[in-house]
Structure 1
Amino acid sequence: MLLPSVLFADPAGAVRIIDADTWDVGGERVRLFGIDAPEAAQTCQRNDGTAWACGRWATAEVDRRYGGRQALCERLDRDRYGRSVTRCHIDGVDVARQLVRDGLSFAYRKYSMDYDLDEKGAAQSGRGLHGTVVQAPAAYRAAQRSRTAATSVSGCTIKGNISSRGVRIYHVSGQHHYRRTKIDTTKGERWFCSAAEARAAGWRAARR
């Protein structure tokens, strides 16, 4: 039987990068506190007007720096996806602060002003994302949700959700969790027009 101190221990261990601000630390899914990085599918615009896959770039750069390393994290909260919201350190360095300083992420001022000055310094120097035209990640997600809502109205009403453990589950209207299940296409979730389409794409049916 696990003791309470073990059950509620702060996340610690090897890092696996999901995206720039979402990691697995010692097998636990965490969201870095106080920052917001571009979504994996998000693009930015270079000064010459060409598109740049800045979301994939940020994820790959964070993985290059921190993937496989040992992190010590402090759990501060839990978000609506079930992830621990944490402040993480590697070799004594606050990694969220470093990501903002290097232009790999933004200060998430809606939740914290801790990294406000770090972002301003990166912006003044044009580091990383600040050297491009980039939409704030929160604004990008809102735009994607609006597009998703329009898609659902067209008749594709089956919700393809991804659980906090990465399990792909589809929910049909009338099922127990259908109404409270939210679809975030920036996380790989999607709408389906039929159960057969969902199964073919690798989703399984909700159990109730």
Structure 2
Amino acid sequence: MLGILVTLLLYFCLISWIAYRKKGDEEDYYQVKKAVPVTVLAFSVFATLLSPISFLTLVGNAYTGRSYLWFAQCGIFLAIPLAHRYFLPLYQKGNYETAYHLLEDKFQSAGIRSLASGLFILYQLGRIAVVTYLLSQALEPFIPINQLVLSGLLLLLTVYYLARGGLLVVLWTDFFQGLVLLAILALFLPRIAQSGLIMNSSQQL
């Protein structure tokens, strides 16, 4: 297990170093103006939605007999067409870079933009705290380090590779994370099908 964690650590450092070497100007650092394969973007959306919160919670729900709750994750298939139909045209029409830029333009107020972005930052800080804590709980049996210390180390690692690589490193990290998750699913899907879990979940809905 320790070898796997060391490998992941080296992987994050390598990806951030490569992205740091390839990044261009400031706009490219934050927005990735260069072409990115559509598969990478798709995997990034998929992996972003599947955080340790949902990954661990779904397993816990399945263990306690509430495996049918995994159907709630299918909401993404409804959200993506709606976002493509109604939200993306707004950004493209006004050439907006972020939703906060759209809010500022709509209400003619930089304060609204600052308020919305500030609240989102606070939300993300809380989310990162929960995610790193859950991850440290999962790793504690394998690493003899205090949970708070481990959470801090994970946070520092995240800040390091994001600061060096920008948005590009986020996209490629999510891409490889999605590949790993799909590989795990392909490995265990035959056993899940044989166990009758999918059929039981469908009957409980």
Normalized per residue, the structure richer in strand is 1
Normalized per residue, the structure richer in helix is 2
- For the pair shown, which has the larger CA radius of gyration, 1 or 2? 2
Give the TM-score taking structure 1 as reference length.
0.27
Give the TM-score taking structure 2 as reference length.
0.28
